[in-house]
Structure 1
């Protein structure tokens, strides 16, 4: 009997086909081995899993609901649109699903401090929340540009007790935040644990974060079937690093459901105007893993842009690269303007203000619905837009409804 996909991928060395692995300096080999072995043990431990389930139910507020977006569906005049409401997860996004689990792992390892990068600030807020819950110190590295753009989340991190460290080199966004966090982690791997914020980085993080986020897809599959008696025809999620997408996709990976990953096309097709890695990138190693990445003329990580600070990353999770290569996923795009339009449409027709990252998936799904009038489309609404409203209003005036 064939094993389910999630039990076979990645392999023991962390590879999804040719993508993944752990390309790390010697001083990181032991701490990453320690994390991998601890996860292998705890992922089968009743005590660990029982504690995680208790946290998810009584602290995070899981399960989050699946919601039928009747008004938006009618506006699109096509397929039926459903939302997996991860914006209702505590802290306002899917990120807490893996942050609480990583913090629990850090406690098991006897670590005193969590260190991580963040783009839009959702991972940073979630990790600061987890650190407060477990009594750990927390240090979040964030690009200087994103600190200005996502001010509400910066304030939240500080209120929660985290130290926010600005990344001031390069483009001062997500890639530079990862660089800065890795450098700080290298200075002390004994008392700190790096809590990577997506399905990226060296093995075992792409697998670990996917497994922690799979609760999204497991819940969504059961909820959608309970609502309709069927599976959705399409599952749609935005992709930067790709944690929310792998969370949703995990529930349907072995089912006849078309999986769509939506990348940020930003302002155009020129290098530096977008962050559509799978669409325009090529194979390369960055931040300790082999995947698809956007490169400049010298072969270094290229500059990227997206209105969504959490998805402006010049690489992508190795599992996304693999699933695209084997034809299991369809890769689509949405521009800044399309994402803002979807941001306003969902707000005005459903009373739900989405994160700009999630709005990319909404924009794509609206087009998909118009082209497939008989289909049901499930979107992972991975975060809420509180953090984005000041920026959007400043740059994109509120349009009339319609």
Structure 2
């Protein structure tokens, strides 16, 4: 385990490795495109014109900064720590995903790409990608598992209104992993004129680093805001973890603050039962999937296991390589919330604070409900509300009210 003096912000190395994790495990066809993207991103990071355009879009199109809201009534209801909510749900398109989509569309334009593809699970990344592609006037194709197109029908309609073609994927479990597979097949075939806006801090280098960097604005704002509100840093950060983009965006600016604990909350599904959850750190193993070496759910033969979550956005068999590295270093802790716990948090925040969170975010909120009562009243928690729950109303109503809603 590393010491408190470790600089956690130096990762990845030049080859995209976070310790033993990450890297570039892709077909030879994609190596040139990834190298081109990596080189262009390195130039863009140092280009004041690129940064100025990105900052302008984040402020005037996306809606940053987002508030850091003190959930006073919810904190009092739970007892213990004061809970602040980072309100990424208030962004244009309804989730943090737009931060990364805006950054990557600017890169695609610099690279001269004329076509955009993406994968999506809960649909929020698909909506964000369709949004920025529409604004850029580029063709857009979104891959989405058939199961997810049904439980996230509202977001499918939004993508179509934005001009994107939504291609349902019926193979395998017909959820996020299969959508990524199809997007990668498309990219291999059309790599010369197509840019793949990958939606989470996963995949082959430079995606985990690049997506993290575009989401660091979450943690940078939260750090500044909590100092303005309270004059001190929080004791605890909590975020849900699928691939891990919203969590690493919140965590990264605090990584060298040794007194700030960080907890990523995975999808516990119906409990830690094979093929009924998506908690990679609960019985997972080291392996390679869809471009990266990381911690994932696989059987003894190395076959990727089926996953389950009430939340489409957390229903994925692998976790971002930086999270795997932080787990090994002991810098961040990873736990899980079950479907029932997430649904309870979804209802609790809605009824007490008038905020309907995404089911993904509800996993983080569920952990806050567990730990806040046992903390001191002057302790501070920041929970990242990574998205709003409009897209999940029908799904939640099915479980909570036993009703089938039609939109």
TM-score range, shorter chain: over 0.9
Q: Deviation string for 1:70-118 (max 9, x for gaps)?
A: 1111110121111000000110000000000000000000000111100
Change (3 A) 1:378 1:26: same
Cross-structure match for 1:10: 12
Aligned-partner SS, 1:90:
coil
Distance 2:21 2:394 in 1: 38
Distance 2:8 2:221 in 1: 18
Distance 2:58 2:234 in 1: 25
Distance 1:387 1:123 in 2: 12
Cross-structure match for 1:300: 303
Aligned-partner SS, 1:264:
strand
Distance 2:335 2:90 in 1: 26
**2:272–2:282 Cα contact (<8 Å) kept:** no
Cross-structure match for 2:109: 107
Cross-structure match for 2:216: 214
Distance 2:46 2:283 in 1: 39
Distance 1:41 1:105 in 2: 10
1:192 maps onto 2:194 in alignment: yes
Cross-structure match for 1:384: 388
- Cα root mean square deviation, aligned: 1.1
Aligned-partner SS, 1:384:
coil
> What is the Cα deviation at residue 143 of structure 1?
0.3
Greater mean alpha carbon deviation, residues 363-372 or residues 284-293: 363-372
> What is the Cα deviation at residue 395 of structure 1?
2.0
**Mapping for residues 1-400 of structure 1, pairs under 5 Å:** 5-6=8-9, 8-255=10-257, 256-374=259-377, 375-397=379-401
Distance 2:281 2:345 in 1: 22
Gaps of 5+ in 2: 403-407
**1:220–1:251 Cα contact (<8 Å) kept:** no
Aligned-partner SS, 1:218:
helix
**1:214–1:248 Cα contact (<8 Å) kept:** yes
Distance 1:385 1:65 in 2: 17
Q: Deviation string for 1:205-232 (max 9, x for gaps)?
A: 0000000000000000000110000101
Q: Deviation string for 1:297-341 (max 9, x for gaps)?
A: 421111000011001100000000000001000111100000000
Q: Deviation string for 1:9-66 (max 9, x for gaps)?
A: 1000000000000011111110110000000000110000000000011111100000
Q: Deviation string for 1:274-307 (max 9, x for gaps)?
A: 0000222110000010000000242111100001
Distance 2:85 2:367 in 1: 13
Distance 1:234 1:65 in 2: 18
> What is the Cα deviation at residue 4 of structure 1?
5.0
* TM-score normalised to structure 2 length: 0.96
**1:174–1:313 Cα contact (<8 Å) kept:** yes
Q: Deviation string for 1:233-266 (max 9, x for gaps)?
A: 0000000100000000012111121010001100
Ranges of 4+ aligned residues in structure 1 off by more than 4 Å:
none
Distance 1:296 1:263 in 2: 19
Greater mean alpha carbon deviation, residues 274-283 or residues 205-214: 274-283
Aligned-partner SS, 1:284:
strand
**Aligned residues between the structures:** 396
* TM-score normalised to structure 1 length: 0.97
Distance 1:165 1:271 in 2: 29
